[in-house]
Amino acid sequence: MQLWNKFSKEELREKLRERGEKFITISFYQYAHIKNTSLFRDQLYIMWSNLGIVGRTYIAHEGINAQIGVPAHKFEQFRNELYEISFLNNIRLNIAVDESEAEFPFLKLKIKVRDKILADGLQDETFDVMDKGKHLRADEFNALTNDPETILIDMRNHYETEVGHFKGAITPDVDTFRDSLSIIEDTILKGNEDKNIVMYCTGGIRCEKASAWFKHRGFKHVHQLEGGIIKYANDCNEKGIENKFIGKNFVFDKRLGERISDDIISCCHQCGKPCDTHTNCANEACHLLFIQCDECRAKMDGCCSEECQHVHQLPEEEQIALRKGTIQRDRYFRKGRSPKLKYKDIKSSIFTTNCLNTIKDISST
């Protein structure tokens, strides 16, 4: 059996349409000790291919991190088979809050072996990721974040927090999780060692690592939102708990976001109009992630700039020739940042000022 995809995007999209299946978008992670990562990867690929699952999964010696789309009629079989894997028995499965933003969450099944399931830049061999902070249910999270002795920190990146975050949260202006750990310790936690530290992220994996790291660094009162924003929103809906999240939750699939509240707290990066719809520049040589309203999308052909629009309108052969041999790694890792985005810097400076004011208020109590 072939253990990788060999079809183009359009071929994959057409195959999914022919199948006519409804997918349930699921994410889960587990820190564990996986000895033979390549063998586990191949076994998982075969099992999930037989179920028609699509999505992205990373496997490392430290565990597994998955964001996948499961055919709805195969969900029970998927869960039963997953739970037969000893270290994944009864693992929490985060189900998407809103499936309406994209035709398909993913186009293909991709399972990769990596050095880590989360790029953190940590090299301390004495650090134990299993010694994590206290998990908080939605009601416990609301109660503790109402306490003035609590610091609430968003562990996500700038382009995620820009479209949605919890009320009163500090949202560091960072590009990657790797960047955030030292910045948060040096600029937010330093001098606040006696405060309650509460962290949250999309599905919990970043907070799991961060809570263990900050405990390792000597902080005592470390907490994290169990299951992240996804589980929190579902629990609030199902149990009638107050939802303190405003805006959209950025997600790493074709939807690029799921609506949590009706609030729109960001703006189109091209015209400044209230908007929280992320897109990737239609110029394949750019592919910059940014916020674009419907009017600018139509006017700019889904591109981030007139330069990219010009390239995008060229024949495909010319586009391929132009991007041959080019590397866009810096732009890729700096999502949502470009001098071409007129209204991005304005919004970022507002968030940065608000964060600094929040830190000052906390430190003075």
Pairing state of beta strands 196-200 and 150-154?
A: parallel
pLDDT for position 4: 59
Instruction: For CA atoms 241, 243, 244, 249, give the dihedral sign.
Output: positive
Portions of the chain given CATH number 3.40.250.10: 134-246+348-363
Tokens of 8: 């183009």
| Catalytic-labelled residue, pool 201, 267, 308, 355 | 201
Q: Which residues of 85-95 are buried (b: 16+ CB within 10 A; e: fewer)?
A: beebeebebbe
Please say if the pLDDT value at position 350 is more than 60.
no
Mean pLDDT for the chain overall = 87
pLDDT for position 252: 87
pLDDT for position 326: 62
Supply angle C-alpha 134, 136, 142, rounded to 5. Answer: 135
pLDDT for position 320: 85
Q: Is 191 left (phi over 0), alpha (psi -120 to 50) or beta?
A: left
Active site residue 281: no
| Domain at 9-113: CATH architecture | 2-Layer Sandwich (3.30)
Q: Which residues of 136-162 are buried (b: 16+ CB within 10 A; e: fewer)?
A: bbbeebbebbeeeebbbbbbbbbbbbb
Yes or no: say if 69 and 86 are a contact pair by the CB < 8 Å rule: no
Q: What is the pTM of this model?
A: 0.83
pLDDT for position 52: 92
Topology of domain 134-246+348-363 in CATH is Oxidized Rhodanese; domain 1 (3.40.250)
Give residue 359's pLDDT band: very low, low, confident or very high (50, 70, 90): very low
Q: Distance between CA atoms of 252 and 257, rounded to whole angstroms?
A: 8
Please say if the pLDDT value at position 202 is more than 70.
yes
> Looking at residues 189-194, what average pLDDT do you find?
89
> Looking at residues 148-158, what average pLDDT do you find?
95
> Looking at residues 144-154, what average pLDDT do you find?
96
Portions of the chain given CATH number 3.30.70.100: 9-113
DSSP letters spanning 151-196: EEEE-S-HHHHTTEEETT-B----SSHHHHHHHHIIIIITT-TTSE
> Looking at residues 118-141, what average pLDDT do you find?
90
Where is average pLDDT lowest: 67-71, 210-214, 335-339?
A: 335-339
Give residue-wise pLDDT tens across range 263-305: 999 999 999 999 999 999 999 888 899 999 999 999 999 999 9
> Looking at residues 150-168, what average pLDDT do you find?
96
Give residue-wise pLDDT tens across range 40-61: 999 999 999 999 999 999 999 9
Name the packing angle between helices 177-184 and 205-216 (round to 10°): 40
Give residue 221's pLDDT band: very low, low, confident or very high (50, 70, 90): very high
